[in-house]
Amino acid sequence: MRRKYFGGARRPLCRRDFSLNAIAISLNPASRGLLLDPTNGLSDIERGEVRALTIHSFTNQPVRLLRVLRFAARMGFKLEQRTQEWLELAMERDLHHSITPEDAGGELRALAREEQPSGTLKSWEEHGLMEIVHPVLAKKKPDYEAINQLSKVRDDLMMAGLRPRLATPMLLAILGRLKDREQSSLLGKLGFRAAETDAILSFVEDAEASAKELSGKKLNAPIDAYKFIEKLPVDRLGYLLAETRNSAALSKIKAYLNKWRPLRAGIGTVREELTRIGMPEGPKFDAVVEQMFALQLNGRGKTPEEREKTLRKLSGIKEAPKQKEAKGKEKKAGKSSEKAHDALMKMQGKPKGKPSPAAAAHKPVVKSGKPVAKAKRKK
């Protein structure tokens, strides 16, 4: 998080909860870019440890008992030795029972945004902190199978070039074994607003409605399905990938991620090819590009030659006529000269065919196409 400190950053950094959270970069023009690490947090990161800055860290804010375990699970770190002792001391003094529901709700929100929340949840269970979040959740346990499936979907979405924010479906996965009434009670107790709770609890119904519409006849054409999926929120898309049993909708979503999006990413090539054949940019240009993309979704235009042919047809630009080869011209010229020679021989009463070299040498010059009279031999 970017923060601005006026009057020096050292003191605010030293009041942070853990050393890895007490690192900053100077924005002062005289020292811009200088790394500020007054609590030696980089060394803790190199050692793979989470270290509390003071013995009063958990006393001042008991919610840090939940937070320190979340940080350790996220980073794959262990607790620094003294921090581990302070945590155990705080638990012995029952400081975790003084965590307010609102603070616990804030940690639950933050947990739902984590990439791998399973590790944190198990750590909370091991330390007896799940009951602080909610007794029913501690009794029924989180739905780890749904959580892990959603984490895998998050990775798939990132590989497809999307930036998934799956907080809502992940929160529902954490509470997956609770009944609707229990979920509503838990969210209300942890400080979630009524509108926020309603949006969370109606999320599944809205997602399944989208799946039903996606599998309908109106979206049979790939281009229509593409446009529909393109407008879906990413968290709803992730939930459907992880949970829906609608095979038709699931098939289209997978096609969107694995085939249609890569095709769309290559639309620049189509624009270049259309420009190359001589079409100026404009509304009609864009319309032709979209028509070509729709055909590509149906498996057309896989090769450059096929795309050029299709683009010419869509744009109405005909291919320029090919120039005849030089050999063809020479042959045609040769045939014309032979025809002229045969005509001349016919007028002179001689047989057709090419003249012999000797005859060609004594051949009289013909002017204006008239035959020359034979010279009389002197007696």
CA separation for the pair 205, 236 (Å, rounded): 10
Q: Which of 63, 97, 131 is the endpoint of a domain?
A: 97
325 within some domain? no
Whether residues 2 and 57 share a domain: the answer is yes
Distance of alpha carbon 142 from its chain centroid, rounded?
30
Q: Are 11 and 39 in contact (CB under 8 A)?
A: no
pLDDT digits (tens, 9 = 90+) for 185-198: 999 999 999 999 99
Whether residues 73 and 128 share a domain: the answer is no
Sign for the pseudo-dihedral over CA of 262, 267, 268, 270:
positive
359 within some domain? no
307 within some domain? yes
- Note down the domain range covering 111: 100-210
Per DSSP bridges, beta strands 35-36 and 49-50 are: unpaired
349 within some domain? no
Whether residues 7 and 93 share a domain: the answer is yes
Domain count, the chain: 3
Whether residues 86 and 125 share a domain: the answer is no
Whether residues 107 and 196 share a domain: the answer is yes
Whether residues 194 and 110 share a domain: the answer is yes
pLDDT at 262: 94
Whether residues 276 and 188 share a domain: the answer is no
282 within some domain? yes
E strand intervals along 8-149: 24-25, 35-36, 49-50, 78-79
Reported pTM: 0.77
pLDDT digits (tens, 9 = 90+) for 325-355: 555 555 555 556 666 666 666 666 655 555 5
217 within some domain? no
What single letter denotes the amino acid at residue 344? L
Task: Kindly state the average pLDDT of the residues 70-91.
Answer: 96
pLDDT digits (tens, 9 = 90+) for 269-300: 999 999 999 999 999 999 999 999 999 999 99
Q: Which of 101-115, 208-222, 225-239, 324-338 has the lowest mean pLDDT?
A: 324-338
Per DSSP bridges, beta strands 78-79 and 49-50 are: parallel
341 within some domain? no
CATH code, 87 = 1.10.110
Three-state secondary structure call for residue 52: strand
Helix axis angle for 203-214 and 167-174, nearest 10°, is 120
Q: Which of 97, 119, 146 is the endpoint of a domain?
A: 97
340 within some domain? no
* Residue whose pair of structure tokens reads 């992880």 in the numeric block: 242
Q: Which of 97, 113, 146 is the endpoint of a domain?
A: 97
Whether residues 16 and 82 share a domain: the answer is yes
